[in-house]
Amino acid sequence: MSVRKVKAKILYLPTYDRAWDDMVYAHATDTCFDVRSTIDAVIKPGERVKIPLGFKLQLEPGYGWCIRNRSGMGGKGIALANGVGTIDNGYLGEPSMVLHNLTNEEFKIERGMRVGQVVIEPVYTADFEEIESEDEFSQTARGAGGFGSTGTK
């Protein structure tokens, strides 16, 4: 399998412990690389906590990145509060994750814990053409059907 490499500049901040693995893919064909918490935190039931990640990243033009929840965190009832964190190409600040505890028990985040994963994605933008009426849309079999319009079985 051929994997496309995207040029990326990374700056590790002083809060990032260089004894941790640098941003690496665990396997050559992995889609994401893991990111770590730079703080200790306790997330109480129902609470949200902002977790800084300790680096800054710049990708070549035409790409952006998303921070996703790790499956192991989701399995423990800890979710990324906004579902997925989309990072625009022009953002050069330190990324953070807002984690939400969906359980009835406190959840401990330890400094250095792998809390999320990053995927690099190509960016496509729309070239909008304003129309006067929905009659100008191309007709489709689905039309305006949504929210269960295709049934459950």
State what percent of residues in the chain have pLDDT above 90.
Answer: 71
**Per-residue confidence band for 1, with pLDDT thresholds at 50, 70 and 90:** low
Range in 57-66, 86-95, 104-113, 135-144 with the lowest mean pLDDT: 135-144
**Against a cut of 0.85, is the pTM above it?**
no
Look up residue 94 and give its two tokens. 């330190």
The top-level CATH class assigned to 33-124 is: mainly beta
